[in-house]
Amino acid sequence: MTGRVALVTGAGRGIGRAIAQRLSGAGCRVALVARDRDQLEETAERCAGPTTVIPADVTDPDAAERVHAGIERSWGPVEILVANAGAGHSAKLERTTDADWQRMLDLNLTAPFRFVRRAVPAMREAGWGRIVVIASTAARIGEPYIAAYTASKHGVLGLVRSAAAELARTGVTVNAVCPGYVDTPMTGQTVENIVATSGRSPGDARAALERKQPIGRLITPDEVADAVWFCVGSGAVTGQAINVDGGAVQ
């Protein structure tokens, strides 16, 4: 992988930072994308090799074109795309507004679609490419109070499967990694929401999330990065949804 050009969205913290570090440590040149420049700079400092920091809001309709074009000018086409940027939302169905619904679709489904669409032509022409979308166990099952989030993640898994089928003979693989509850700021926000709505203590709320996974703990960002690296390294694995959830979904 030495010298391969990789792009990681949502690279400012959490899972995205761990993925960027893994790719960089393997010799890739890594473009780091997120909204917060300071967080991206911190990720860059932790990477072992060349990086470029590109602040961008991936929900901007022009973001995919602008980000890819900038990388191409400096390094050439993106060869490894990890679409990691995402967010969650929790509310009862009747309290989920149109704005909540649209925000989940824009960030978790439409943005990955645009980045995948922009990356594919160069990968197809080169006869090699790796696309990994960070989905969720919510792409596999439904749970209460996360209808908008679940719908967006089910949708992105459909995108992955269709793209994988279309690109199967081109040397380009497309996979999804589906984490459970990971020890990240996003899960911290989930804990805060549970505390606010249930009156539980933060410790009890966190323990409830840990119990959702048979291994009895949260997943680490590095464990998600392991699964991404597996997808990047294999040319025979495509169209898959790889669960990293401690055995919760079988």
Catalytic residue set: 149
DSSP track, the chain:
-TT-EEEEESTTSHHHHHHHHHHHHTT-EEEEEES-HHHHHHHHHH-SS-EEEEE--TTSTTHHHHHHHHHHHHT-S-SEEEE---------GGG--HHHHHHHHIIIIIHHHHHHHHHHHHHHHHT-EEEEEE--GGGTS--TT-HHHHHHHHHHHHHHHHHHHHHTTTTEEEEEEEE-SBSSHHHHHHHHHHHHHH---HHHHHHHHHHTSTTSSPBPHHHHHHHHHHHHH-SS--S-EEEESTTS--
Model pTM greater than 0.85?
Answer: yes
Please report the pLDDT score of residue 74 as a whole number.
Answer: 96
CA end-to-end distance (rounded Å), the chain: 32
Q: How far is CA 185 from the centre of its chain?
A: 14
Are 179 and 134 in contact by the 8 Å Cβ rule? The answer is yes
Mean pLDDT of 10-31: 97
Q: Which of 51-65, 89-103, 141-155, 193-207 has the lowest mean pLDDT?
A: 193-207
Decide if pLDDT at 96 tops 90: yes
For the segment 152-207, what is each residue's pLDDT rounded down to a tens digit?
A: 999 999 999 999 999 999 999 999 999 999 988 888 878 887 888 778 888 888 88
Give the span between the Cα atoms of 81 and 121, in whole angstroms: 13
For the segment 200-210, what is each residue's pLDDT rounded down to a tens digit?
A: 888 888 888 88
CATH 3.40.50.720 residue spans of the chain: 5-180+220-243
**Count of Cβ atoms closer than 10 Å to residue 75 Cβ:** 19
Q: CATH fold of 5-180+220-243, please? A: Rossmann fold (3.40.50)
